[in-house]
Amino acid sequence: MQLSKKLNDFVKKIIFLKSKILIISVFFFYSTPAYSFISDAKYALLVDYETNQILYEKNSRKKIYPASMSKLMTLYVLFDYIENNIISLDDKIFISENAWRKGGAISDSSTMFAEVSSYISVENIIRGIVIHSGNDACIAISEAISGSEEIFSNEMNFYAKKLGMIDTNYTNSTGLHDSNHFSTPYDMTLLAKSLIRDFPNFYHYFSEKEFTWNGIFQPNRNNLLGSDLSVDGLKTGKTSESGYSMIISSNKDNIRLIGIVGGLPSRDNRTIEMRKLINYGQRNFMKYNLFNKNDVLDKVDIWEGKKSKLNILTSENISLLLNIRTKRNLNAKYSFNQPIIAPIKKGQIIGELTVYNDEKEIVNSSLISGENIERSNFFGRILQKIRYLIN
């Protein structure tokens, strides 16, 4: 692409060997004004799935009631049980009276219209949760796995902590309102990314647009599926306390974005705000490769080795989404403990490279040795010390 060539022309790499700082200056010059975006949602967050780079945030650490977005954790637990061969997609799940009643039979809440005392396959339970947002399906699977929804919520909390969702607490499998059932937009994006990463074989259920059960047709409540935004999942939510919310994944031009909005007054407002958020990410950012794996960053001194210098290399490809309509400045710093003493093995971690957007850290990566360096003999080590004293 032309823009990639322009990027390479604009990137300047200046190495200060004393301070061990690598400065990358990236400049883009466009006459077009920047795409301005301010979300009207009470909270909003947009992140790059691959790098965890935050592209937009508003109240991302705010305590929220996740409503039916909570069902993503119910599914995460279920998928993990399937992956570990504890249950299978063909197993039949019993629909108790509790699941039938509490799940929507006598209310206007979300339901897959499962019949009491019937048996439904795990695969259809998944569809009932993903597509119909079925509370009855969630309660039935929680009872099947843990014996009760209360015990199942403890499992949900166990998985939440394991995924790093430190500001989340579940009290039920459905997302029905409870003042002790809460999360944050940031934690919810962690969960969405984990579902996609950990269970790619099950993610296709989120892109199914419709499901008919018990003779009742229902479309997927994610009304952005298959739109021009390339949305392929995940989940909507709504209670009177939470307002209308939505967390989605968009995969376009090999860039996957995770977006969440919430606290909105209507379904239409939710759709509008999510469209604005994803449009902002897709139109205003482009992916650029800043470092390739095994790029040589510096040649550093080695003590007590048969060689006196060592190339330190990047350990991985490092790419970022950069705003292509405005001037952006990046800087990167690398560090390592001195002295570096032989023997050194190829691929050994020597230090770390950190990339910043202004002063905010956005990437941290290991630096590695480019070769094996054996330890020098006694006389070689003495000679090196003498040379150091003379110089």
The CA distance from 156 to 149, in Å, is 10
What amino acid occupies position 323? Answer: N
Q: Which of 42, 71, 193, 238 is catalytic?
A: 71
| Contact criterion met (CB below 8 Å) for 199 and 83 | yes
Query: Please, what is the Cα angle at 276 between 271 and 277, to 5 degrees?
Result: 100
**Active site (annotated) includes residue 71:** yes
Torsional sign, CA 298, 299, 305, 306: positive
Q: At what angle do helices 71-83 and 122-130 cross, to 10 degrees?
A: 160
The CA distance from 139 to 228, in Å, is 34
The candidate with the shortest Cα–Cα distance to 236, out of 132, 106, 126, is 132
Q: Which of 68, 183, 242, 369 is catalytic?
A: 68
The CA distance from 391 to 362, in Å, is 40
Can you list the positions of beta strands (E) in the chain? 12-16, 21-25, 43-48, 54-58, 92-94, 119-121, 210-213, 216-219, 231-239, 243-252, 255-264, 285-291, 296-301, 309-314, 318-323, 330-336, 349-357, 360-369
Q: Which of 39, 96, 133, 142 is catalytic?
A: 133
Which residues participate in catalysis according to the annotation?
68, 71, 133
